[in-house]
Amino acid sequence: MSEAPARVVWRNEFSLGIPAVDHEHREMVALINEIFVRIEADDTETIADDLGEIHARISAHFALEEQIMRREGYDQFDDHKADHEHLLDDIREIMDAYADGSYGDRKDAFAGRLQRWFVDHFKTKDARLHRRLRT
């Protein structure tokens, strides 16, 4: 059974109200959706490069968010940072699994994992940070 993976649809609640962070969130959503298109099309040649780019961009993005949290004295800094580290490990694992072919004919699982990875962090950790910064 093979269904097209659900795309990550941008929602206003993803906005933190900090232009630099929101811009990067939008860029990451665009990048992840590009990967989904390539997965669906079995255009596997560029996926490894795209994952490398996501990893690099997300590392920079997390650094920016952590800088803001530190500056604002955010109460759940440690917890949020730990989730960032966990997510970076997870994307590394996805890259490794991709490289050694273990996602070969499990592309739905692969796409689903990427999607959860993005949406869950946005909806939980980043959303809380967003509410905190606005109050």
CB of 125 to Fe ion, least distance (A): 5
Type of residue found at 101? G
CB of 3 to Fe ion, least distance (A): 28
Of residues 115-134, which lie at the interface with Fe ion (CB under 5 A)?
Answer: 125-126
Type of residue found at 26? R
44 and 111 Cβ atoms separated by less than 8 Å: no
Provide the mask over 17-56, with x wherever binding to Fe ion is found by CB under 5 A and - wherever it is not: ----------------------------------------
CB of 4 to Fe ion, least distance (A): 26
Q: Which residue has the tokens 């960032």?
A: 84
69 binds Fe ion per the rule CB under 5 A: no
Minimal CA–CA distance to 37: which of 50, 25, 54? 50
Contacts of residue 111, Cβ cutoff 8 Å, sequence gap at least 6 = 5, 35, 36, 39
Contacts of residue 81, Cβ cutoff 8 Å, sequence gap at least 6 = 62, 66, 69
User: Token digits for 120?
Assistant: 């869950």
Q: Which residue has the tokens 């990875």?
A: 117
> Toward Fe ion, which CB reaches closer, 81 or 107?
81
Name the one range near Fe ion by CB under 5 A: 29-37, 47-55, 61-69, 87-95: 61-69
> Toward Fe ion, which CB reaches closer, 94 or 125?
125
Q: Which residues bind Fe ion (CB under 5 A)?
A: 65, 125-126
